[in-house]
């Protein structure tokens, strides 16, 4: 099967113009088919502050009232998404910027939670692959903003890591999918303060041991849980590492490889 990269880029890299430019250059040089999923939380928080819209985060999830939904839609699907597309086009990388509502390609519903109202936050029901397939097959790379919809006209703020995973999973019916979580760290670290302690490979048994020994810091656990879930659902490889080293990361020369073996 042909290879497809589904690459999530973390928020802190997006905020740094020169790091982002370097990342997008590396991304443009990938000759295989590719999808980029981005967030942009810091810029959204900054805009909310300027607009006096109070922000509340619970376990890293943004409580999304109607004003906050407007803000994240503007920042993620407007400013960040289209800025990335324009830069990719300048690198001769033909790209289309989408959110999950476009072509109805991500179906989601508003999160139901008995203890907490997250507001307009979406949980994903499924990804339709046809729309993405036809774009990829016509030579276009896809840039995805983390906004979905409920099919009834309501936009929903949705976790970008989860979107990357769900896209990777859906596309694994058609491609050999490499799911890449790229961010400001060099990979999964044994010591969160020491960038030289990257763990090159994590399998299920070692992961259980690391969690047991509390050697993995809390923010990393949902990423790795997502990674194993993706592998169980047909994704070929999951890589975690530094956005600035994207070429090395996808060639397995840096970062952490999560594998079922």
Binding site for a copy of itself (CB under 8 A): 50-51, 70, 73-79, 81-83, 85-87, 89-90, 94-99, 101-104, 130-131, 134, 138, 140, 147, 149, 151-155
Structure tokens at 10: 């973390």
Task: Report the half-sphere exposure of 187 (CA within 13 A, side-chain side).
Answer: 23
Q: Whose Cβ is closer to a copy of itself: residue 10's or residue 100's? A: 100
Supply the minimum distance, in Å, between the C-beta of residue 103 and a copy of itself.
5
Q: Whose Cβ is closer to a copy of itself: residue 76's or residue 228's? A: 76
Supply the minimum distance, in Å, between the C-beta of residue 257 and a copy of itself.
33
Supply the minimum distance, in Å, between the C-beta of residue 145 and a copy of itself.
8
Structure tokens at 49: 């502050």
Q: How many angstroms separate the Cα of 23 from the Cα of each of 44, 53, 100?
A: 21, 31, 23
List residues bridging with 109 in a β-sheet: 123
Whole-angstrom distance, CA of residue 195 vs CA of residue 177? 27
Supply the minimum distance, in Å, between the C-beta of residue 82 and a copy of itself.
5
Whole-angstrom distance, CA of residue 154 vs CA of residue 108? 10
Whole-angstrom distance, CA of residue 25 vs CA of residue 12? 17
Q: Whose Cβ is closer to a copy of itself: residue 77's or residue 171's? A: 77
Q: Whose Cβ is closer to a copy of itself: residue 157's or residue 256's? A: 157
Q: Whose Cβ is closer to a copy of itself: residue 60's or residue 103's? A: 103
Supply the minimum distance, in Å, between the C-beta of residue 118 and a copy of itself.
18
Q: Whose Cβ is closer to a copy of itself: residue 135's or residue 199's? A: 135
Q: Whose Cβ is closer to a copy of itself: residue 138's or residue 193's? A: 138
Supply the minimum distance, in Å, between the C-beta of residue 60 and a copy of itself.
23
Sign of CA dihedral 70, 71, 72, 75: positive
Supply the minimum distance, in Å, between the C-beta of residue 94 and a copy of itself.
6
């Amino acid at each position: 099967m042909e290879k497809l990269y589904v690459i999530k880029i973390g928020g802190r890299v997006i905020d740094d113009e020169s790091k982002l430019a370097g990342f997008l250059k590396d991304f443009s040089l990938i000759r295989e088919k590719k999808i980029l999923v981005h967030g942009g939380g810091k810029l959204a928080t900054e805009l909310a502050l300027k607009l006096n819209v109070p922000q509340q985060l619970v376990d890293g999830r943004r409580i999304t009232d109607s004003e906050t939904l407007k803000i994240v839609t503007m920042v993620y699907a407007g400013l960040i998404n289209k800025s990335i597309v324009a830069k990719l086009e300048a690198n001769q990388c033909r790209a289309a910027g989408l959110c999950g509502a476009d072509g109805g390609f991500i179906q989601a519903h508003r999160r139901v939670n008995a203890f907490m109202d997250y507001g307009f936050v979406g949980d994903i029901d499924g990804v339709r692959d046809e729309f993405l397939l036809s774009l990829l097959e016509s030579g276009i790379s896809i840039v995805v903003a983390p906004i979905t919809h409920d099919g009834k006209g309501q936009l929903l703020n949705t976790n970008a890591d989860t979107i990357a995973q769900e896209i990777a999973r859906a596309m694994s019916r058609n491609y050999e999918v490499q799911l890449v979580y790229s961010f400001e760290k060099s990979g999964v670290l044994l010591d969160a303060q020491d960038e030289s302690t990257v763990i090159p490979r994590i399998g299920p048994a070692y992961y259980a041991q690391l969690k047991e020994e509390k050697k993995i810091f809390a923010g990393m656990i949902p990423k790795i849980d997502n990674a194993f879930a993706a592998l169980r659902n047909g994704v070929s490889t999951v890589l975690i590492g530094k956005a600035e080293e994207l070429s090395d990361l996808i060639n397995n020369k840096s970062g952490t490889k999560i594998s079922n073996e």
